[in-house]
Amino acid sequence: MSLRLIALLASMPLLLAACSTLSDGMDAINPFASSGPKMAALTPLTASVEVKEQWSFNAGKARDYTFKPAIVGNAVFVAEADGTVNRLEDGKSVWKIKVGQPISAGVGAASGLVVVATAKGEVLAFAADDGQPKWKARVSSEVIAPPAVSADGVAVRSGDNRVFLLDLNDGGRKWVYQRATPSLSLRNTAPPVFGDRYVFVGFPGGKLVALGLQNGAPVWEGTVALPKGATELDRVADIASLPAFDGSQVCAVAFQGRVACFDLGQGGATIWARDMSSASGLALDGRYLFVTDEKGAVHALDRQSGSSLWKQDKLLNRHVSGPAVRRGQVAVADGEGIVHLLSREDGGFLARHKTDGTPVRTPVQVLGNGFLIQTTGGKVSAIEIQ
């Protein structure tokens, strides 16, 4: 087995699963969780910018799941495995609810609604302003990706690779899209993404699909990666992170595959593609595409050509999260809960910020004038760069 697959398995518990086990809620196979290459040591750094923690909140341990905060305006919605959901404003809980059962995915929030989901396939919606229950729905299997919420509905991806669009007002099923799944695939925590007239979803096998909002029919399909190799493990080539959508351009990256950008204005034509492996994620800004690869290197690519602008490779094997970019800084976090601030222009280190020492599994997010991070230990931190 390749070192890159061992490293990824070690960084993400419950990562690999035969598709038959996902709908049963069984543990995924991860025989290498305690092994893998050693993390690169961090060299001393003289910070060139000041990082200030604006606030922090203890949301509870993630356990075997991955929880990502949802940001709506100045509100941050956070969830924990025991079924607690909080609405935070400036780091203080405005309301707190117990949904009555453990949850496996959350949070999705928009259009006045907060949505979480469970390992039994239940989808639970609450009013964003006061946390009052709105509706319940059920999908076909375990949900480990946070629901996506927009004015067009609630998009839910189940563990058996079905995508459901639920009605925003009552949770009624508007459509469902089903796709065949390979016998082995990554345990996927990437939610669908609303963009223009579509719901974008990355699938095992390296396909990025645009589903029509009206009926869920596939309007366009882009090939990010093609499975190849002699064994089932070698042929794992899944899109396991959130696609990045900006105007008519959508980009995605696959594990053991490629990173690729597509032009929706030209019928989904490939703008460019280049070999790269990642399950961590990517981010777009006006000029660049930023990607964290499977080894922990952070890349800046020209979003129009895919040409390499810089590569920061001093975080080798540190299980680096997907990036976020804001005003000249690129932020990533690692397996020891350390946030690294990089220069957008050359990838040089600007500063570091320590959280609680537990891994960060989800991409960093932009919040106001800074960034938002949630660790597996449950610490939610809002940091500002001065």
- With tokens 């990562």, the residue in question is 15
CB 373 within 8 A of CB 322: no
Q: Is 220 helix (H, G, I), strand (E, B) or coil?
A: strand
5: which 2 tokens?
A: 């697959």
| Residue 386, pLDDT score | 86
pTM for the whole structure = 0.90
Angstrom CA distances, 178 to 158, 293, 296, 330, 339, stand at: 10, 29, 33, 36, 37
**Within a 10 A sphere around the Cβ of 44, how many other Cβ atoms?**
4
pLDDT value, residue 30: 40
Residue with tokens 């996927």: 188
Ordered by where they begin, the domains of the chain are 67-188 (2.40.128.630)
Residues 6+ apart with CB under 8 A from 46: none
The span from the CA of 158 to the CA of 174, in Å, is 15
pLDDT at residue number 35: 55
Are 156 and 163 in contact by the 8 Å Cβ rule? The answer is yes
For 26, residues 6+ apart whose C-beta sits below 8 A from its C-beta are: 17
Angle at 72 between CA 337 and CA 386, to 5 degrees: 50
Q: Tokens at residue 53, please? A: 């923690």
Q: Do the beta carbons of residue 294 and residue 237 sit within 8 Å?
A: no
What's the pLDDT score for residue 44?
Answer: 93
pLDDT for 304: 95
Distance CA 361, CA 373 (A): 10
| Nearest in space to 300 (alpha carbons), one of 362, 264, 348, 257 | 348
DSSP assignments along 126-175, one per residue: EETTT--EEEEEE-SS---SPPEEETTEEEEE-TTSEEEEE-TTT--EEE
- Low-confidence stretches of the chain (pLDDT < 70) are 1-35
SS3 374: strand
Which of 328, 336, 377 lies closest to 353 in space, CA to CA?
336
